[in-house]
Amino acid sequence: MDELSAQAILNGLRSSWLGRNVLFHEKTDSTNSVAVSLAQQGAPEGTLVIADEQTAGRGRLGRPWVAPHGTCLLFSLLFRPSLEARRAQGLTMVCGLGLRQAVRDVTGLPAQLKWPNDLLLHDRKAGGMLTELSAQVGRLDYVVVGIGLNVNVDAAQLPPQFHAASLLTELGRSVSRVQLLQRALEDIEARYHTLQAGLWPLQEWSAALDTLGKQVQLNTAEGVLDGQVEGVDEQGALLVRQDDGRVQRVLEGDIVLAGHSPER
Ligand code: BTN
């Protein structure tokens, strides 16, 4: 098992501010909850909260996030971007792209993203992100992006309803969590600077999505929707062409079924 500690993370880390204020917990309820509370107390931008185990790990849409002790990456990053609140999705895009790049660089696996914030390995979910934020008069105050990545866990050990993948199961060997994390922090920091400079990462993000062109079934707050994914819009909403030809814009939802693009 590779040891996680603040010292191990800082040793050889090449980011200049992201992850440099690091709080490591052997066990905590949820790194996102800790990071949100630190954000409210004025913690600096770039703060990293990371744990070997969460007792109440949270996923999107009120779901739990489960990972056995000492096997996975479970961390949250605190940003204080000077961006309008409607641009918050940019942080999720930047973190998703950085995580994908880190997995590709460290393991060589063809990691992909799945709308809105999953990381896939060969069509199975190996990671997810949970973004929580606070805004005032239309501008972001803080954004916490929580990332869970199944690293050195046998995917068969995870609850079956997750249909999960892990790096260990894909590669047949374990991977250094410290190396993956350092690579992700360095990549995310560079992308964040570009975002802050006003460049919106939409093109790269949409190219990294596994979902484009596919026939999907989506669970949304309004009900189930079937159609073909046409693309994403400026804000990262999914554009789905239904069988009657109408295009629906979906800002929040879950793709439950994805197949290949139908023959025309
Ligand atoms: C999802 O796919 O539903 C999002 C999963 C996000 C899980 C991570 S693990 C670290 C951080 N702390 C949490 O409680 N959740 C996020």
Residue 262 has pLDDT above 70, yes or no: no
Decide: 116 and 231 in contact? Cβ < 8 Å.
no
Q: How far is CA 255 from CA 36, 59, 208, 220, 251, in A?
A: 27, 15, 16, 9, 12
CB count, 10 Å around CB of 137?
6
User: What pLDDT was estimated at residue 261?
Assistant: 53
SS3 255: strand
The model's confidence at residue 264, banded by pLDDT at 50, 70 and 90, is very low
Q: Tell which atom from ligand 1 comes closest to the C-alpha of 128.
A: 2
Pocket of ligand 1 from Cβ distances under 6 Å: 30-32, 54, 57-60, 63, 65, 74-76, 118, 128-130, 146-148
Q: Nearest Cα to 64, choosing from 161, 204, 155?
A: 161
pLDDT tens, residue by residue, 210-246: 988 999 999 988 899 999 999 999 989 999 999 899 9
Mean pLDDT of the region 167-191 = 98
Mean pLDDT of the region 14-24 = 98
CB count, 10 Å around CB of 240?
25
Residues 6+ apart with CB under 8 A from 251: 235, 236, 237
Q: Whose CA is nearest to atom 11 of ligand 1?
A: 146
pTM, full prediction: 0.95
Q: Tell which atom from ligand 1 comes closest to the C-alpha of 31.
A: 12
pLDDT tens, residue by residue, 100-142: 999 999 999 999 999 999 999 999 999 999 999 999 999 999 9
